[in-house]
Amino acid sequence: MHPYLAEFIGTAILILFGNGVVANVLLSKSKGQNGGWIVITFGWGLGVALAVYAVGRISGAHINPAVTVSLASIGAFEWALVPGYVVAQILGAILGSVLVYLNYYAHWEETEDPDLILACYSTAPAIRKMVPAVITECIGTAVLVFCVLALGKVAFGAESTQLAWATTMGTWFGPMLVGMLVLAIGLSLGGPTGYAINPARDLGPRIAHSLLPIKGKGSSDWSYAWVPIVAPLVGGFVGAQLFVLLAL
């Protein structure tokens, strides 16, 4: 399988499980309705782990443009591959969102609140202040990138950053560690913004929300969309640079 196709499939799996659990908790008359934040964070964490299990051995399972760009910034990934990875991730996120739409097809028209519908696709701040939202997304993504690279060093004694990432994703327990990391980020840091920590995770589903024929869906909130794109890219870059600095 080509790495681009692997990133496409892996990101689709991530969004299917991740936004799927949000839909299960938020949509009217779903059997998981009102399941709460703990259910959502566990769904996302397991979704990440399963996506990495599925494609990690093929593409490294970045499934996140912030990860791809961050690794390239420290020489752990080829810049020439970055555009293809990012496009594949965004398209995969769109596909995952379409699958969520189909899976909960009967429930959209039963849900009257357009904010709940949008939440099944993209993120929004609990308090609509952009600067705090940017800070939150930067911190979460910095922790994500730094800790995944650190896990590779600690668990496998990898001599290089590239090997640290590749080794973590290529083991049987590495993907579960990454899923647990995302679970921890959601439980501890996710409350202010819904922890996008991934530009594709937010942009792809937001595009799908704008295009899908969902009754009463309301606005796709494009005025906020730049935050979960820009902030994770900045935060991931900082996390990767900090890891290299401390590793030296």
Q: What is the pLDDT of residues 188-224, one digit of tens each?
A: 999 999 999 999 999 999 999 999 999 999 999 999 9
Residue 7 has pLDDT above 80, yes or no: yes
Nearest to 51 by CA among 86, 13, 21: 13
Residue with tokens 């202040």: 129
Q: What is the mean pLDDT of residues 164-177?
A: 72
pLDDT reported for residue 150: 85
pLDDT at 236 over 70: yes
Q: Can you give the pLDDT at residue 155?
A: 47
| Domain coverage including residue 195 | 3-247
pLDDT over threshold 60, residue 14:
yes
- This model's pTM is above 0.85: yes
Between 148 and 231, name the one with better pLDDT. 231
| Higher pLDDT among residues 159 and 189, named by residue | 189
Does residue 109 contact residue 216 with C-beta atoms inside 8 Å?
yes
In the predicted model, is pLDDT for residue 157 greater than 80? no
* Residue at 216: amino acid letter: G
Residue 173 has pLDDT above 50, yes or no: yes
Please tell me which of 151-155, 161-165, 167-171, 210-214 the model is most confident about, judged by mean pLDDT: 210-214
Please enumerate in sequence order all residues whose Cβ is within 8 A of that of 53, keeping only pairs 6 or more positions apart, or say none. Answer: 175
43's CB contacts (< 8 A; 6+ apart) are 17, 18, 20, 21, 22, 24
* Burial of 88 (C-beta count, 10 Å sphere; 0-12/13-18/19+): buried
Tell me: pLDDT of 169 over 70: no
pLDDT at residue 156, rounded to an integer? 47
What CATH number does the domain containing 50 carry? 1.20.1080.10
**pLDDT tens per residue across span 52-109:** 999 988 998 999 999 999 999 998 899 999 999 999 999 999 999 999 999 999 999 9
- Position 247 pLDDT exceeds 80: no
Mean pLDDT of the chain: 93
Q: Give the per-residue pLDDT at 239.
A: 96
Kindly tell me if the per-residue pLDDT of 19 is higher than 80: yes
Query: For 162-187, what is the mean pLDDT?
Result: 80
User: SS3 for 44-99, per residue?
Assistant: HHHHHHHHHHHHHHHHCCCCCHHHHHHHHHCCCCCHHHHHHHHHHHHHHHHHHHHH
**Per-residue pLDDT tens digits for 112-152:** 999 999 999 999 999 999 999 999 999 999 999 999 888 87
What is the reported pLDDT for 162?
59
| Count of domains for the chain | 1
- According to the model, what pLDDT value does residue 57 have? 86
